[in-house]
Amino acid sequence: MRGVDLRAEHGMSLVELLAAMIAGIVVLMGAYATVDVAVITQKDAEGRIDTIARGRLAMEQITRQVRSQVCLDQHTVPILEAQRNRMVFYASLAAASAQTTYQRRTIVYVPEQDGTSGRIVETVVTGAGQPPEIAWTGGTTTRTLITDVRPQGQGLFRYYTFDAPVAPVMREVTSSSGVPVEERRLTVQVGIAFEVLTARGRSARQNSLFENTVFVRTADPTDPTHSPKCT
């Protein structure tokens, strides 16, 4: 029977074994960290894609509605109500070759109970008849344009008129109780700004901010001293 050769150097010493284990643990932790970062990055990317897609669609819809503003006649203000988070106006999306169908549109930001976010809702009332005899007794439709959203700055909407002495420079109309009728009559541009939020508990890095300014149909930027045209 052969004995153990105490002078042999085969295998690993305890110190070498501990060093190898520590190195392996470090490599394994690095691999786990890489996977964790990749998962977080993927979730952030998916969240951004979602907020961008939802926000872009909502902004396109709001822009289209605001730009469709029309004058019923020279004595009727196109914008019935102009507040920071609520706008009511007359509009028409009918083709130029078709008989004009007038609508009364309301776009409003509705906050949730916790006040941290809300939704943007549109209500459309279709008028019957032609100016000046229009009865607002047609069908009423209400739809939510976007959820998980909040206004930017002081509100969802901002209103601008041409600054008469230095036209075509814009002047923002501000009022805590809403824009008065005299200023609504002269409004030629509307600013829109909101932030689209991700689902609760996710990173704020996934939120997306949207801003746009829209010249209303009654405005003529090349002729600011005579805009809007229905006045």
Per-residue pLDDT tens listing for the chain (231 residues): 566 565 656 666 777 778 888 888 888 888 877 777 666 666 777 778 888 999 999 999 999 999 988 888 877 888 999 999 999 999 987 765 556 788 999 999 999 988 889 999 999 998 888 877 788 887 899 999 999 999 998 899 999 988 766 656 788 987 777 888 888 888 889 999 999 998 765 667 788 999 999 988 777 777 766 667 665
In a domain, 4, yes or no: no
Please tell me the predicted confidence (pLDDT) of residue 28: 82
* Domain assignment present for 110: yes
**Does residue 123 lie in a domain region?**
yes
Looking at residue 206, its pLDDT comes to 81
Give 145's Cβ-side CA count (13 Å radius): 25
- List the domain range (segments joined by +) for residue 120: 43-226
Residue 4 confidence (pLDDT): 58
Cβ atoms within 10 Å, residue 70 = 20
Q: Would residue 55 count as lying in a domain? A: yes
Domain count, the chain: 1
Q: Which amino acid belongs to residue 60?
A: E
Mark 200-217 as b/e (b = at least 16 C-beta within 10 Å): eebeeebbbebeeebbbb
Q: H or E segment at 34?
A: helix 14-67
pTM for the whole structure? 0.76
